[in-house]
Amino acid sequence: MTAKTKSSKSDYVEPKSFEEALERLQELVEKLEAGEISLEESVAAFEEGQKLSVYCQHKLKAAETSLKKLLMHPEGPEAGEEE
């Protein structure tokens, strides 16, 4: 089944990028805030949102770690050899 119907626990697919995850998270928040979905759909949306939130946090932490490494060694990995 390629088309999504109602949300369920098994519908979660890991996003391809941080931006995709954030966009989906925003969609879920809008649905929840509108209050026009059933309780079951709300719970499923919340669960998916939690997973997306964790995914985004991991991506942000990885980016932060990379930036800290670059700031500690701004000259790059080959800079240890000075002439």
Q: What is the number of alpha carbons within 13 Å of residue 43 lying toward its C-beta?
A: 5
Phi, psi (deg, nearest 5) at residue 81: -95, 95
> Which pLDDT score, from 0 to 100, does residue 2 have?
38
Distances (CA, A) of 24 to 8, 11, 40, 48, 66: 15, 13, 18, 9, 25
Residue 69, H or E segment: helix 39-72
Report the amino acid identity of residue 28: L
Q: Could you give the domains of the chain?
A: 16-73 (1.10.287)
Q: Say whether pLDDT at 7 is over 60.
A: no
Band of residue 6 on the pLDDT scale cut at 50, 70, 90:
very low
pLDDT in tens, 15-65: 999 999 999 999 999 999 999 999 999 999 999 999 999 999 999 999 999
